Chains A and B, each alone.
Chain A
Amino acid sequence: MNLALRDVRRHLARFVGTAAGLGLLLSVVVAMQGIYAGMVDDATILTRAMHADLWLVQRDTRGPFAEGSRLDPSVEARAAAVPGVRTARPYTYQLIQREHRGAVMRIALVGLGWPDDPGRSLPLVRGRRLQQPHGEMIVDASLGLGIGEPLVLAGEQYRVVGLTRNALTSGGDSVAFMTVGDAELVAFDQPPEAALLERQRVVERLRRTDLGRGQPALEDLATDPRWRAPALASPPVAAVLVEADPHRIAEVRGVMRSWGDVSVYSQAEEEELLLVGVVQRARMQIGLFTVILTLTAAVIIMMVMYNLTLEKTHDLAVLKLMGAPRLRLLGLVLQQAWLLGAMGYAVAFAMGELAFPMFPRRVLITETISLVAPVATMGIVTLASILGLTHVMRIDPSIALEG
C-alpha cells in the first residue's frame, strides 16, 4: 500500500493547492533563468546574425554596440582589397524611437551593405530578403508589423518585406534591417527648417573665407538642395564586416590591425565586448537574483515539506508504534516531496508556455534550462525533505500512547 498516495488522495485539494503554489514559485525561478539566458542571447544575436569573421570599427573604440563607432566608408574598399578577404560590407547601427499607429516604437536600425548583403544571414520566419536598394525593410516580429505594412521614417515610406524572430538588442529593443543607404537617410534626416539653417551657416562660412569671397557662385551651389560639396565626406559607417578565407583569417587580421584608423575584433571578441561591456551588470544582477530566488524557493519548499510532515506526526507515531519499517515512513515523505516537485514543475512548465511569451523581455528557455530545471527541482525537493525526514526519524512512537 502506498502511504504517500493515500495521504495525497485524502488531502487532494490541499496537496494540489500546495503544488500549484510551488509551481508558481518555480515558474518565477525558471522565468528569471530564462530572462538571464534571453539577455545573454539578445546581446549576442545581432553579431551572430551578421556572420562576419572580423569586425572593423573605429580605432580604440569598442563599437558599434558598446559605444559609438564612426568609420570612414573607404575602409570597405580597403578591406575588400586585402588578400584573403572574400567580402567586406558596411554596417550601421542606431537606435530610433518613433510613433506608429499611436504607439511608441523603439527600433534598433541596422544598415546592411547592399547589394552584397540583402539579409541572407538573417533568421527569416516570414517574407523575403531585401530586393531593392531603397524602401524595403526586414523587421523583427516583436515590433508587431505585418508583411507589406508601411512604416514612415524620415518622410519616406518603407515597406516590411520580411520578418525575423528574436532579433533584439541587449536592451530588448527590436531590430529592423534596411540597406545602409536607407539607414543613413533615416540617421541624417533633418526637418526642412534645420536644412535651411545649415545651408545658411554654409553660406556664412563661405563669406568668411577667401574661397567664398573669390568665387561668389559657390554661394548659389551651397543653397541648392541637390548639390553636395565634393570636399565633404560621405556619411561614416559604424563598422565594416569582413568575411575571409577561413585559413587566412589571422593573416587578414594582421594586415588590418596595422591600419591606424581601425580596431579589429573577431566574432567571439565582439560578442565578449557586448557581454562584458553592455550587459555585464544587468547579467550579474539577474544572476544573483536568480540564485537568491532559487534559495528562497528551496527554503519555502523545505518549510512546506516540513509542515506537511509535522501535521502527520501523530499518524506517523501510530505507524511507528505498529512497527512500520523506517524506510516506509521515510518513503512517504520523499515520495510526496517528489510528487510535489513533479506537479510543481508541470505547473511551472504550463505557466511558462502560457505566460512567458507575453513578457516584455524575451524569456529564453534554453535546452540547458529545459534539462536542468526538472532535475534541479527534484534535487531541491529531495534536499528540502531533509527537515521532514529528520522529523520522521525523531518521532517517538510512545506519543501515540499518550491520550
Chain B
Amino acid sequence: MEDAVRAVDLSKTYGTGLAAVKALDHVTLTIARGTVAALLGPSGSGKSTLIKALGFVSPADTGEVFFEGRLVVKHGVPLADLAALRRRHLGFVFQKANLTSFLTARENVEIACEFGGKSDGRRRARELLEYLDVAGREHSYPEMLSGGEQQRVAIARALANEPSLILADEPTAALDSVRSRSVMELFRKVAHDRGAAVLVVTHDHRALEVFDVLYEMEDGRIRPHRPERSGLTAEQ
C-alpha cells in the first residue's frame, strides 16, 4: 500500500543544558494509506511532539519527513509550503473537538472544504455530516452540540479535503466508553472506506482492537506495541 507519510530519524529537544528534554529520539515511522494506527504512551513521552512534526506544525530538529513519497521537511527546514500541505492533504482531530465557535456545524466542515480548494463545499459538508450521522445538527453552533456530536463534526471537518493523512490527538478523552468506541470505529471506517492513513494518539485502551497497528512511545522513543500488521512499520 502507498505510504501517506514517512518519518526518518526524527529528533527534537526542548530546552538546553541540564534542562534539556529529548522529546523525540531518533523516531522512524511509516504510515500507509488505508491504515489506522494508534500511538500509545504516558504523558510526556513525546506523542504530541511527534503529531506536531508529522502534521507539519512544529518540525523536528533533525531527520526527514516524506509526504506521499516527496521529501517535505529536512532537518527542520521546510522544503514545501507546509500550510498548503495541511490545507489540502491533512486532517486534524483534537482532544476537544476544537470547532470554530462562530461557525455552525456545516460551516465548520464547509470552511475546511474551501481551504482545501474543493468546489461545492456546502454539498460536500452536508454529505459528510450525513456520513457521520450528525446531518440533523448542521445549523447548530458547537456549544449547542454534545461532546460526541462535536467530535463527529470535527471528524467530518478532518475529512473535508479528502486527506491522505488524519492525525487525531486523544480524540476520545472527553467521551464516554460508548461514544469513544464509536469514534474509534469511525476512524477505522474512514481509513478503510476512503483510503486515508489515520494516526490516533490515545490513552484509551478500551477499543484498541479497532486499530490495524499499535505504537508505543516512551522517553521520545517509539516501538511497536503489537506485532506488525499490514501497512505499518516501525523502526527504532
**Known pairs A398-B57, A400-B94. 13 more at Cβ < 8 A?**
A7-B102, A315-B101, A318-B94, A319-B111, A321-B92, A322-B157, A323-B86, A324-B115, A325-B87, A400-B92, A400-B98, A401-B51, A403-B95
**5 A-B pairs, CB-CB below 8 angstroms?**
A10-B102, A10-B103, A400-B98, A401-B48, A403-B173
Interface of A is mostly: helix
Is there a chain A Cβ closer than 8 Å to B84's Cβ?
A: yes
Is there a chain B Cβ closer than 8 Å to A314's Cβ?
A: yes
Is there a chain A Cβ closer than 8 Å to B21's Cβ?
A: no
**What 0/1 pattern do residues 152 to 196 of B give for CB contact below 8 A with A?**
000001000000000001100100000000000000000000000
Residues of A contacting B58 in the complex (Cβ-Cβ under 8 angstroms): 396, 398
Please provide the chain B residues from 78 to 125 with a CB less than 8 Å away from any CB of chain A in the complex.
83-88, 90, 92, 94-96, 98-103, 107, 110-112, 114-116, 121
Complex-state Cα separation, A11 to B52, whole angstroms = 32
Contact between A401 and B57 (Cβ–Cβ < 8 Å)? yes
Residues of B contacting A315 in the complex (Cβ-Cβ under 8 angstroms): 100-102
Is there a chain A Cβ closer than 8 Å to B66's Cβ?
A: no
Chain A residues with a Cβ under 8 A of chain B: 1, 3, 6-7, 9-11, 312, 314-315, 318-326, 396-398, 400-403
**What 0/1 pattern do residues 26 to 63 of B give for CB contact below 8 A with A?**
00000000000000000000001001100101100000
Contact between B90 and A323 (Cβ–Cβ < 8 Å)? yes
Q: Given A1-B114, A318-B100, A398-B52 in contact, is the A323-B83 Cβ separation under 8 Å?
A: yes
Complex-state Cα separation, A9 to B88, whole angstroms = 28
Contact between B57 and A322 (Cβ–Cβ < 8 Å)? no
Which residue of B has the minimal Cβ distance to A5?
A: B102
Q: Given A400-B94, A401-B51 in contact, is the A323-B101 Cβ separation under 8 Å?
A: no
**What 0/1 pattern do residues 119 to 158 of B give for CB contact below 8 A with A?**
0010000000000000000000100000000000000010
- Residue from B92, B99, B157 with most neighbouring chain A CB atoms (10 Å): B92
Contact between B110 and A401 (Cβ–Cβ < 8 Å)? no
Residues of B contacting A322 in the complex (Cβ-Cβ under 8 angstroms): 86-87, 92, 111-112, 115, 157
Q: Given A323-B86, A325-B83 in contact, is the A6-B48 Cβ separation under 8 Å?
A: no
Residues of A contacting B99 in the complex (Cβ-Cβ under 8 angstroms): 318
